[in-house]
Amino acid sequence: MILLGILAASGAGAGAGGVAGYAAGGYLASNVTTVDKFAFPSDSRTTLATGLSVARRLAAGFSNPAVAGYAAGGYTASNQVVVDKFSFPADSRTTLGTGLSIARRTPAGFFNPAVAGYAAGGQGSPPRSTVDKFAFPADTRTTLGTGLSAAREGVTGFSNPAVAGYVAGGEEGSVVSTVDKFAFPGDARTTLATGLSSARKLVTGFSNNAVAGYVAGGFSTVATVDKFAFPSDTRTTLGTGLSSGRYVSAGFADSSIAGYVAGGLAGSSVTTVDKFAFPADTRSTLATGLSAARESAAGFQNA
């Protein structure tokens, strides 16, 4: 663990804390380009002057901490291949010359800091098992020889940096509880013996580096938060879930400090941002939520 992104992740895991979390795009009467930024540790919110290159919802978010955050794919009038990159700390946006291998929405994002980001599965008419990998820092794309264990949409991702990435839940004809695990650096896939506590899709993932990954909410409008402890991947379910049942929220984290679930659908779109403080997983709700009620934003972090 010698590169900058790994050092940032490792330092955060040791209690140093990160810089900011982001909720990018989404839907508010129409698709939007808005990117809200929550500065750690104050959780104060600003909105970036430059948003997504294309107004869209249901993109995957992944990060190369201390370097850049990404919003991949999504849906506007049709499924998208576009991958936008926000360079830290200026948050300046570029769009990758090579996007996803297949246009799709509701893919899962996960990442291995300083090594690669991934966009997995999603609805590509039909659902896909495809896992695209973007190698840092050049952002060159390859597609894994082994994709998801089944083609599915409405999935979410979380990461244990330098160890593995995970893709949880979704729908493959019916809604599933499946959690696939991709071991770094070879990306070999296994499927956890214990999946989600209930089958659900349109779920939200976030992680506490080297400690646990979390899967929150989902359709139909549940407040459940499942926790997978690293390295054993044993699952528990938090006694306190989301402040309200909802789905298609954005997830991000300030590792070793807290995980966040932002916006989503709870009957209607909400501005709510719930915060789960590590390691106790106690939940509070930020006084300042998203800049506008919206669902289906992508989450990434510089942490």
Kindly report, residue by residue over 69-97, the tens digit of the pLDDT.
Answer: 999 999 999 999 999 999 999 999 999 99
CATH code, 123: 2.120.10.80
Q: Which strand (E) or helix (H) includes residue 213? A: strand 212-216
**In whole angstroms, what is the distance from residue 178 CA to residue 186 CA?**
21
- Does residue 273 surpass a pLDDT of 90? yes
Q: Residue 70: its pLDDT value, please?
A: 99
Print burial letters for 86-118: b (CB count within 10 Å at least 16), e (below 16). Answer: bebeebebeebeebbbbbbbbbbbbbbbbbbbb
Q: What is the mean pLDDT of the chain?
A: 94
Q: Residue 165: its pLDDT value, please?
A: 98
- Tell me if residue 57 falls in helix, strand or coil: strand
pTM of the predicted protein model: 0.94
Q: What is the mean pLDDT of residues 186-212?
A: 97
- Does residue 9 surpass a pLDDT of 80? no
**In whole angstroms, what is the distance from residue 236 CA to residue 244 CA?**
19
Token pair for 122: 């999603």
- Does residue 2 surpass a pLDDT of 90? no
Q: Residue 109: its pLDDT value, please?
A: 98
Print burial letters for 159-194: b (CB count within 10 Å at least 16), e (below 16). Answer: bbbbebbbbbbbbbeebbbbbbbbebeebebeebee
**In whole angstroms, what is the distance from residue 195 CA to residue 177 CA?**
5
**In whole angstroms, what is the distance from residue 238 CA to residue 174 CA?**
25
pLDDT digits (tens, 9 = 90+) for 257-267: 999 999 999 99
Q: To the nearest whole percent, how much of the chain has pLDDT over 70?
A: 95
Q: Residue 3: its pLDDT value, please?
A: 32
Find the domain containing 50 and state its range: 4-302
**In whole angstroms, what is the distance from residue 263 CA to residue 251 CA?**
9
Q: How many domains does the chain have?
A: 1
pLDDT grade, residue 17 (50/70/90)?
confident
Token pair for 75: 């849906």
- Does residue 145 surpass a pLDDT of 90? yes
Q: Residue 16: its pLDDT value, please?
A: 65
- Does residue 7 surpass a pLDDT of 50? no
**Residues in Cβ contact with 231 at an 8 Å cutoff, skipping those fewer than 6 apart:** 160, 163
